[in-house]
Amino acid sequence: MGAFKHLVNKRLSRRDFVKGSAMAGGALALGGMGTGLGAGSLKAEKRFADIEVAGLWDNNWQNAPMWLSPLLQEEAGVSLKSRELYDAGETTAKIVPQLLSNNPRFDWFCMPSLYFGLFAEVGLLEPLDQYLDNFGGSEEYFDWIMPGYGEFYSQWGGQTYGLMVDGDIHNLHYRPSYFADADNQNEFSKRFQRELTVPTTWEEYRDTARFFTDKYSSQDIYGTSVVMNPPNFSWGFWMDVAGSYGVTYFDRNMNPQINQGRAAESLEMFKEIVETGPPGKTSMSIGETIARWESGADVMSVWWIDLAEFTVRSQGLERASDQATALVPGTMQADGSMKHTPVALYSRTLAVPANASEEVKEAAAYFIYRMSHPDYSMNIVADPFCGSDPYGKTHFTDEAAQMYTEPNPQRGTDELWPVNDGIFKTFDQARRHLDGCEANVENAFPQIYWEGAGEYGDALGRAISKFISDELGAQEALDEAAEEWVKITQKLGYDSQKSQHDKFLEATKRAGLNFDV
Residue 76, domain member (yes or no): yes
Looking at the predicted structure, is the pLDDT value of residue 287 above 60? yes
Same domain for 205 and 115: no
Residue 377, domain member (yes or no): yes
Looking at the predicted structure, is the pLDDT value of residue 12 above 50? no
Q: Give the C-alpha separation, 82 to 98, whole Å.
A: 16
Same domain for 380 and 280: no
Buried b / exposed e along 29-56 (16+ C-beta atoms within 10 A): eeeeebebbeebbbeeeeebeebbbbbb
Q: Is 318 exposed, middle or buried (0-12, 13-18, 19+ CB in 10 A)?
A: exposed
Q: Is the bond preceding residue 147 a cis peptide, omega within 30 degrees?
A: no
Same domain for 67 and 216: no
Domain closes at, from 291, 311, 341: 341
Q: Is the bond preceding residue 390 a cis peptide, omega within 30 degrees?
A: no
Q: What is the mean pLDDT of residues 190-202?
A: 98
Q: Give the C-alpha separation, 472 to 244, whole Å.
A: 23
Residue 439, domain member (yes or no): no
| H-type alpha helices, 193-282 | 202-216, 231-244, 263-274
pLDDT band with cut points at 50, 70 and 90 for residue 46: low
Q: Hey, how many other C-beta atoms are within 10 angstroms of the C-beta on 429? A: 21
**How high is the pLDDT of residue 136?**
81
Looking at the predicted structure, is the pLDDT value of residue 237 above 60? yes
Residue 355, domain member (yes or no): yes
State the Cα torsion 484-486-492-493 to the nearest 10°: -170
Q: Is 391 exposed, middle or buried (0-12, 13-18, 19+ CB in 10 A)?
A: buried
Q: In this predicted model, which residue has the larger pLDDT, 13 or 392? A: 392
pLDDT band with cut points at 50, 70 and 90 for residue 468: very high
Q: What is the mean pLDDT of residues 397-413?
A: 97
85 contacts: CB under 8 Å, gap ≥ 6: 9, 11, 56, 57, 58, 59
pLDDT band with cut points at 50, 70 and 90 for residue 260: very high
Q: What is the mean pLDDT of residues 347-365?
A: 97
Strands 445-446 and 343-344: parallel
Q: 43-47, 366-370, 399-403: which has the minimum mean pLDDT?
A: 43-47
Q: What is the mean pLDDT of residues 123-134?
A: 96
Which residue from 511, 458, 490, 483 is spatially nearest to 232, judged by alpha carbons? 458
**How high is the pLDDT of residue 363?**
97
Same domain for 181 and 324: yes
Same domain for 300 and 408: no
Q: 125-139, 266-280, 466-480: which has the minimum mean pLDDT?
A: 125-139
Q: What is the pLDDT of residues 295-314, one digit of tens each?
A: 999 999 999 999 999 999 89
Q: What is the mean pLDDT of residues 351-356?
A: 98
Same domain for 82 and 155: yes
Same domain for 231 and 363: no
Same domain for 187 and 319: yes
Length of the chain: 517
- Phi and psi angles of residue 6, each rounded to the nearest 5 degrees, phi first: -80, -5
Q: In this predicted model, which residue has the larger pLDDT, 96 or 13? A: 96
Which residue from 357, 416, 303 is spatially nearest to 13, judged by alpha carbons? 416
- Phi and psi angles of residue 263, each rounded to the nearest 5 degrees, phi first: -60, -50
Looking at the predicted structure, is the pLDDT value of residue 40 above 90? no
Q: What is the mean pLDDT of residues 141-161?
A: 95
Which residue from 93, 94, 76 is spatially nearest to 85, judged by alpha carbons? 94
pLDDT band with cut points at 50, 70 and 90 for residue 28: very low
% of the chain at pLDDT higher than 90: 86
Helix (H, G, I), strand (E, B) or coil at 115: helix
pLDDT band with cut points at 50, 70 and 90 for residue 272: very high
**How high is the pLDDT of residue 489?**
98
Q: 24-28, 163-167, 343-347: which has the minimum mean pLDDT?
A: 24-28
DSSP string covering 448-499: P-STTHHHHHHHHHHHHHHHHTTSS-HHHHHHHHHHHHHHHHHHH-HHHHHH
Residue 482, domain member (yes or no): no
pLDDT band with cut points at 50, 70 and 90 for residue 43: low
- Phi and psi angles of residue 469, each rounded to the nearest 5 degrees, phi first: -90, 10
Residue 250, domain member (yes or no): yes
Same domain for 279 and 158: no
Looking at the predicted structure, is the pLDDT value of residue 371 above 80? yes
Q: What is the mean pLDDT of residues 448-454?
A: 97
Same domain for 336 and 201: yes
DSSP string covering 333-399: -TTS-EE---EE-S-EEEE-BTTS-TTTHHHHHHHHHHHHSHHHHHHHTT-TTT-----BGGGGSHH
**Cα distances (angstroms) measured from residue 79 to each of 140, 191, 305:** 24, 62, 30
Q: What is the mean pLDDT of residues 192-210?
A: 98
Q: What is the mean pLDDT of residues 157-163?
A: 96
Q: Give the C-alpha separation, 354 to 154, whole Å.
A: 15
Q: What is the mean pLDDT of residues 162-183?
A: 98
Helix (H, G, I), strand (E, B) or coil at 250: strand
The one-character DSSP state at 149 is H
Looking at the predicted structure, is the pLDDT value of residue 198 above 90? yes
Q: Give the C-alpha separation, 135 to 63, whole Å.
A: 24
Looking at the predicted structure, is the pLDDT value of residue 212 above 50? yes
% of the chain at pLDDT higher than 70: 91
**How high is the pLDDT of residue 1?**
62
Domain closes at, from 341, 359, 376: 341
Domain closes at, from 279, 310, 341: 341
Helix (H, G, I), strand (E, B) or coil at 501: helix
Average pLDDT, whole number, for the chain?
Answer: 91
**How high is the pLDDT of residue 313?**
87
- What is the tally of structural domains in the chain? 2
Compute the C-alpha angle 183/185/191, nearest 5°: 100
- Any bridge partners for residue 303, and if so which? 171
Looking at the predicted structure, is the pLDDT value of residue 170 above 70? yes
Q: 117-121, 209-213, 463-467, 508-512: which has the minimum mean pLDDT?
A: 508-512
Compute the C-alpha angle 117/123/127, nearest 5°: 85
Q: What is the mean pLDDT of residues 398-420?
A: 95
Q: Give the C-alpha separation, 515 to 254, whole Å.
A: 12
193 contacts: CB under 8 Å, gap ≥ 6: none
Q: Is residue 317 within 8 Å of residue 425, measured between CB atoms? A: yes
Q: Give the C-alpha separation, 144 to 363, whole Å.
A: 22
**How high is the pLDDT of residue 169?**
97
269 contacts: CB under 8 Å, gap ≥ 6: 202, 203, 206, 241, 245
Q: Is residue 365 within 8 Å of residue 128, measured between CB atoms? A: yes
Residue 464, domain member (yes or no): no
Residue 400, domain member (yes or no): yes
The radius of gyration of the chain from alpha carbons, rounded to an integer in Å, stands at: 23
**Cα 261 from chain centroid (whole Å):** 28
Q: What is the CATH number of the domain that holds 59?
A: 3.40.190.10
The domain of 245 spans 170-341
Same domain for 149 and 177: no
pLDDT band with cut points at 50, 70 and 90 for residue 416: confident
Q: Is residue 113 within 8 Å of residue 348, measured between CB atoms? A: yes
Q: What is the mean pLDDT of residues 305-325?
A: 94
Q: Give the C-alpha separation, 229 to 458, whole Å.
A: 10
Looking at the predicted structure, is the pLDDT value of residue 41 above 60? no
pLDDT band with cut points at 50, 70 and 90 for residue 262: very high
Same domain for 125 and 254: no
Helix (H, G, I), strand (E, B) or coil at 141: helix
